[in-house]
Amino acid sequence: MFWKCFKHIGKSGDLLSVKEYHSLLSLICSDFPHEIVQKSARIVLMEDAMDCLMSFNDFLSAFQMQLYYEEFLAKCNEIYDEIASGSHRSAQVVVVPTSDSKSKRHKNTEKVSQLESSNSLDGVDSMSFYDEILHHVVHHSSTAKTISIPPSESLKQILSSANRVTFYGFLMALAKNDLIYQSIGAVPHKSRLADEDASER
């Protein structure tokens, strides 16, 4: 509904603030939580750039992911913080690499990804993060049955593309992933949005 009501903003190319996006959502739902809008904005903007403006399409991608996968993202944040602080138990996950996975892992180390910071000490080990998500969320029977979880292949695709990842980089990659975008299915695919924009010019 949000996209249908305000898609003209995206077509006009207007940039809006967090407060303005919340005002638009409040026109649909008067008591819509401001916190969800802020969390969505943090996926697009850095924590110290929350006063910056966002395009409609960027906000929409982040907003639908935050809304649909809110519980999953919260659990991933907990896992990330535990790994970053060194309080998680790596023995909880036992990974037996195959020759094929070793080959893929070697290729991934040679890639330069947007997930990696210029400072190699930033973030956490990507595959450790991925393994913990699988163990505590994706393959955890009680959790997997109660929350929405992105396709596991998309998680692997994102987290195998870099040696290290920050939580902000992880969120950005999730919001931009085509498979996740399609799995939500709340709004047309980004390519269709672009086609509609072009056809109306």
- The model's confidence at residue 74, banded by pLDDT at 50, 70 and 90, is very high
Q: What is the pLDDT of residues 42-56, one digit of tens each?
A: 888 876 677 889 988
Share of residues in the chain with pLDDT > 70 (%): 70
Angle formed at CA 46 by CA 161 and CA 128, multiple of 5 degrees: 35
Whether 194 is covered by a domain: the verdict is no
Whether 112 is covered by a domain: the verdict is no
Q: What is the pLDDT of residues 2-12, one digit of tens each?
A: 756 777 776 77
Whether 104 is covered by a domain: the verdict is no
Higher pLDDT, 71 or 90: 71
Whether 103 is covered by a domain: the verdict is no
Whether 42 is covered by a domain: the verdict is yes
Tally the domains of the chain: 1
Whether 113 is covered by a domain: the verdict is no
Strand extents, DSSP E, the chain: 15-16, 54-55, 124-125, 164-165
**In this model, does residue 110 exceed pLDDT 90?**
no
Whether 126 is covered by a domain: the verdict is yes
Contact predicate 164/126, CB 8 Å: yes
The pTM of the full predicted model, rounded to 2 decimals, is: 0.71
Tell me the residue range of the domain where 6 lies.
Answer: 1-88+122-184
Confidence at residue 34, expressed as pLDDT on a 0 to 100 scale: 93
